[in-house]
Every structure is written in structure tokens, then in C-alpha cells.
Amino acid sequence: MPAKAIMVQGTGSHVGKSVLAAALCRIFAQDGYRVAPFKAQNMSNNSDVTPEGGEISRAQSEQAKAAGVTSSVLMNPILLKPTTDVGAQVIVLGQSVGTMTAREYQTYKPKLLNVITQSLEKLSRQADILVIEGAGSPAEINLKADDLVNMWVAKQLNAPVLLVGDIDRGGVFAQLVGTMELLDEDERRLVRGFVINKFRGDPTLLTSGLRWLEARYGRPVLGVLPYLHNLDVAEEDSLPSASLKLRSSSHPTNGTVTIAVIRLPRMSNFTDFDALRREPDVHLQFLDAPPSETSLPDAVILPGTKSTIADLSFIRRQQLDRYLQRCREAGREVIGVCGGFQMLGQRLLDPDRIEAARTEAEGLGWLPFETRFHREKTVCHVLGHHVESGLPVSGYEIHMGRLQSPSARRPVVQITQRSQQPTDDHDGMQSEDGGVWGTYLHGLFDEAAFRRWWLNRLRARRHLPPLSVSAVAPPEAAFDQWASVVRSHLNMNAIYEFIKF
């Protein structure tokens, strides 16, 4: 029997569609159903790699974890990764098909309708319930004619729609009413109820407004979800810069180590550092300019980026290269991940202008290699062990650049498996003193034993005693916590009625 479907749409971006979809995935899975998340098109530089070696949005990857299923390219058949203010790399079923301007993509979109419907059909045969997420707002009147992610998807499955508004930013009733008024009648019929998200305070103060909304549209307010300060579930796909400050951990104390992450304009996969943020002895901060204080962090990390050469120029404009040099001279570790790793080399070569308008740039020059960008993208899962510690590690690679280096490398990771195929390879490079090192592996710090080994190395330089692997709750525990909150504030009986189970 084809799967039932429920769709989460919002009055705008960052209202909580992704986290509500994740909660529903968890709840349905807890109730014994086979669940699959779905988002037809996502725009995000936060991506993950499926076991078959395809690239999808991190949000759908996290929702798959919440559902207890293996991620698949069918769950996010179209991923747009912005490279500039006017262009994006287009990923279809996990593979790059090129970089397009917004206008070029509009011309290309009709070719993707079959990709979406076929993905839905295949997922529907694998699941009992599809939890579908919309994008932005369904009421953008300038975009509705070419919609392939909001109401167009809901119509394909006749899926009941939950419309979410964010009360924390104010004007939630105007958000909901404005959205409903701009929808066509056949679209309004699909909206089965409202959800108000991120509420602080006494919910009874909302009663008169909720009753008015229900009377106007003849649809129930299904729940008022509370604002959770420590919600550790992946949020919207493209977090604003201010949100990175919120992802920083607590203020430093005498027993903590400080880790600075350079906040690049085109930063990708900032979730690489979430596991560090959870550690009790880590103060994590994001920097887009040299800090005014004279103290230096114990380590500074150059993260992944969607445009390495452009963000390297940003580092120099902001004089962050001088800050990194100060850190290096003071004996602090400097680490690069993916694009950040490429910056640590001697030169970056992009003769075909795959990532940037410039064809060449000088790197920071701390590691003896060059990077050349190729049209063929490397996308794979990786298993191996950290060379120095001998500890097992895993992660995933997503990059267009390839290392060109002398044969006498000092690798960081010995790779034993790529995308489920055995191999004898290596990743990364480090300086002779180990103070500068880089890796292509996203997710390296997710490995608890390796993470603690590295943090203890930083602690030793500060003459702090080592700590054992902390009993940090696994990321999956956050899904259970959030699902419990949503169950207690959302009318799940009504939702089950909508999908006719």
C-alpha cells in the first residue's frame, strides 16, 4: 500500500519546519511505523553523504536518523549549494550537474519534476508514512508559478499540510493570516491545521487569538510549541550568522580549553563542531574578525567552505591571516577541514573557474601541497584510523579540489574504506611539529574517543589534567527529548486522523 503523507510548511524561513518534521519522524517511528523524510528541493551548504555516496541536505539526513532509517538521495532529490550571491551548484539525486545562475536554474527546473515524482513514488513503496518538509513560504506570489517544493508537492499526494508560524519573531497571527490569504483556494483546502512555534510564557494569553484564527479559517490550532533554549536538533538548513553565536558554548573558565572557528561567508557544514560544543571543558567561539582581547585560543579551526578562494580572500581582508600567524607562533594548533585544509597549502589552482572567478590564489603556505579543482566531485563515506593516536575515525568527503603534494606526506588519517569499498589510502597532512594539520573528513570530531584524545592534548599544553571520554548523551537522545516535548504540546490524535491511520 502506498505510504500516507503529512507535510510541514511554514510562513517563512527559520520558523521551525525542519525540527517539527524531525519530531514527527521520531514520533511515528516510536509508534511502530516505517517513516521516510522528504524535501523536494533544499538550498543549503550544510550537507551529508548517504551510504551509496550521494550528497543530500544535512536536515534530511538528520530527519532520517530521527526516523531510524538509512539516509537516501530520494529524501532530498534536489540540493542547491550557493557558491555566490547569484549562483549555486545544483545536486540532483546526490550528484552535481553543474553550477547555474538563478535564471539558468529557472529554465532547468521543468526537467526536475519527474525526478521529484519518481523519488516520491520509490520512497512511498519503502515507508508507511512520508514526513514532507516545505521550503521558505508557500505564499511567495512571485515564485508560485514555478513551485516544486511546497504546494505542488502537497497536491501530488493530496497531503494534509500543517502550517507553522514563529511567534518568537513577533506577528505570528499576521504571518498565518497573510499566508492563508495569499494561497489559492485549492491550496488552502490542503491546510488542515496551524502550529505556533517558539512560544515563551503563559499560553493562556494566546487563547483569544487562537479562537479567532480557528473561527476565521475553520481549522484547529494543533499546538503551541515552547521555545527550547537547549534544543540540540538540527534546525533550518541555512542558519544566519547570528545563530552561529548561539551555537557557541559557555564562557571559558580555568578548566576549559578555547577553540575558535573562523566564520567564513560561505562556510559549509558548521555541524562539524557541534560535538565539540557539547563537551563540558570546551569553550567554542566563532570569529569573523580578530578579537580585541590579547589572549589566544588553544586551537583555531578553518572550516569547510563552498568557495575556498573567495573565502581565503575574506580571511586576508579581515587580517585573520595575521591572527592565525600569531596563533601559530604562540604554539596554538591551527586546523583546516576540507576547504579550510586547502587554504593551509601553498597554492590553489582553478583553471576552469569551477569554484571562483579567479584561476589561482596563494595559500597560507603552512603545508607543502597545492590544490587543483576538478569538475568531478569527490563524495564518499570514509572509515579509517587516526595515524598518531591509532584510534578509529569516520566521516565523509565532499569536495571539488584534489591534493597535489610531494610523495613524503605526513597523513592524518589512514583510510581503510571509502563508500563501503575496502581501500588502502590516506587523508590529510600535518606539519613536522604537528601544530598545523588538515583533513578532508567532515565529521571527524564526532568520534568520541578521538575527540577526547585531541582535547586532552590541548589540555596537556595548558598543564590541565586529562579527562576521560565524557558521558555526553548521544545525538539521538535529543530526538527523543524533542519528540516528547512535541507529543505533549501537539494534537497527535488529530494528525493521525488527517493521515487516516
pLDDT at 235: 62
Is the confidence at residue 250, as pLDDT, over 80?
Answer: no
* Residue range 5-23, pLDDT digits in tens: 999 999 999 999 999 999 9
Q: Which long-range contacts (CB under 8 A, 24 or more apart) does 472-479 make?
A: 472/275, 472/278, 472/279, 472/448, 475/65, 475/232, 475/274, 476/65, 478/231, 478/232, 478/233, 479/22, 479/23, 479/26, 479/65, 479/66, 479/233
pLDDT tens for residues 401-432? 888 876 557 999 999 998 888 999 999 999 99
How wide is the angle at C-alpha 47 spanned by C-alphas 381 and 240, nearest 5°?
150
The pTM of this model reads 0.85
Structural domains in the chain plus CATH codes: 4-233+478-498 (3.40.50.300), 256-463 (3.40.50.880)
As given in the structure block, the three cell numbers for residue 44 are: 543549503
For residue 491, pLDDT over 50 is answered with yes
Amino acid at 282: V
Residue range 432-467, pLDDT digits in tens? 999 999 999 999 999 999 999 999 999 999 999 999
**Nearest-10 crossing angle of helices 475-489, 17-30:** 90
From CA 164, how far away is CA 150, in angstroms rounded?
13
CB atoms within 10 A of CB 265: 14
Mean pLDDT along residues 147-159: 95
Q: Which of 166, 106, 107, 109 is nearest to 136 (CA)?
A: 166
**CA 359, CA 115: separation in Å to the nearest integer?**
34
Catalytic (active-site) positions: 338, 442
Helix (H, G, I), strand (E, B) or coil at 71: coil
- CB contact at 8 A, 175 and 165: yes
Determine what percent of the chain is predicted with pLDDT higher than 90: 73
Q: For 65-69, 142-146, 149-153, which range has the lowest pLDDT when averaged over its residues?
A: 142-146
349-353 LR contacts (CB < 8 Å, sep 24+): 349/373, 350/309
DSSP 5-41: EEEEEESSTTSSHHHHHHHHHHHHHHTT--EEEE-SE
- The mean pLDDT of 495-500, rounded to a whole number, is 93
Q: How is 456-493 classified by DSSP, letter by letter?
A: HHHHHHTTPPP-PPP-PPPHHHHHHHHHHHHHHHB-HH
Say how far apart CA 50 and CA 53 lie, in whole Å.
5
Look at residue 140 in the predicted model and tell me its pLDDT: 92
